[in-house]
Structure 1
Amino acid sequence: MTTKLGALLMAALLALYLALVGWRAVQFIGTGEPVAIVMGVALLVLPLIAVWAIWRELAFGIRSQRLVQRLETEGGLDLELPVRESGRVDKSAAQAEFARFAAEAEAEPESWRAWLRLGLAYDAAGDRRRARHAVRRAIELDRASR
């Protein structure tokens, strides 16, 4: 719950930032000076790119969380990996189990469930880049199946 609260707080701060920067951009453009106009346009465009990137990340988080919840409801979330005393997953154990999830995704390349489990295994093993790629693939497959 604290993660969602943090995301909402950051979104509110971003909205405030956009309002203030937008106002400053309008002021720059209103001067009529060529350099100020360029700065004003940049102040309008760059935050919009940031908003797009943040929206994309939030949408990824929401969609992946929904898939994890669906898989858990179906009873297909069988990632029982040993944890260390710190509470973190033992990476060597995760890597040992990883082969099973990779083989499952290879055997069923059109199964979003297999790709999601593979992504969760990558994440447990500490490979965030591949985890995101596998989860994105799971999201695409789920969308295509609907």
Structure 2
Amino acid sequence: MSAAPRRRLPRGLAGAVAVTALLALYVVAIAGRGLAMIRDGQPALVAIGVAVLVIPLLVIGLIVREFLLAARVQRMADTLAAAGELPVDDLPRSPGGRVDRAAADAAFDERRAGVEADPESWQAWYHLAFAYDAAGDRRRAREALRKAAALFTTAPAA
């Protein structure tokens, strides 16, 4: 009887956890300073202390948001891999590793047409995100990935 294959942790998870731990130390230090300012009782320090406490809350919120997105993207990738539809980066590259712009544009046009044909398909948005990434447009890649994640969350289970 063969043992079930061990599931590998996603690449980069250890780094993300380490950076998050460092940010947690930062948040604790900043929160401590903010609370000390508030305890001082002087109106100006109380106001600054309250403002300083907002920073850790924002940091925590952003970290939670990014981890939730990463988990959702991993579930989407697992779903696409199981269906044999995971995007493959097979675009031609220069010796320096840059993607051939004409090939990236052609792949992008194909993926954009997929989204235009079915704008409610999380799969189409996921593929478009990777086309944006190959074209070097990280901001739009992230937007498309967030759209895919939102549609994936609301999609009925297969």
* TM-score exceeds 0.5: yes
- Contact map agreement 1:28 1:39 (CA 8 A) in 2: yes
Greater Cα shift, 77-86 or 31-40: 77-86
Distance in structure 2 (CA, Å) of the matches to 1:72 and 1:16: 37
Does 1:118 pair with 2:114? no
Conservation of the 8 A alpha-carbon contact between 1:120 and 1:131: yes
Deviation of the 1:88 alpha carbon: 4.3
Give the paired residue count: 146
CA RMSD of aligned residues (A): 1.8
Q: Is the 8 A contact 2:87 2:130 kept in 1?
A: no
**Share of identical aligned residues, percent?**
44
* Segment drifting more, 25-34 vs 50-59: 50-59
In the alignment, structure 1 segments of 5+ residues that lack a partner are: none
> Equivalents in 2 of 1:48, 1:78: separation in Å?
36
Structure-1 residue corresponding to 2:7: none
Contact 2:38 2:50 in 1 (8 A): yes
2:77 is matched with which residue?
68
TM-score by length of 1: 0.88
Determine if contact 1:81/1:89 at 8 Å carries over to the other structure: yes
After superposition, the Cα gap between the structure-2 partners of 1:64 and 1:78, relative to the gap in structure 1 and judged at 3 Å, is closer
Name which of 20, 30, 33 aligns with 1:11: 20
* Structure 2: gaps spanning 5 or more residues: 1-9
- How far did residue 2 of structure 1 move? 6.0
Contact (CA 8 Å) 1:92, 1:125: kept in 2 or not?
Answer: no
Secondary structure in 1 matching 2:92: coil
2:117 maps to 1:86: no
Q: Write the distance in 2 (CA, Å) between the matches of 1:102 and 1:108.
A: 10
* Large movers: runs of 4+ above 4 Å: none
Higher-helix-fraction structure: 1
In 2, Cα distance between the equivalents of 1:139 and 1:34?
Answer: 44
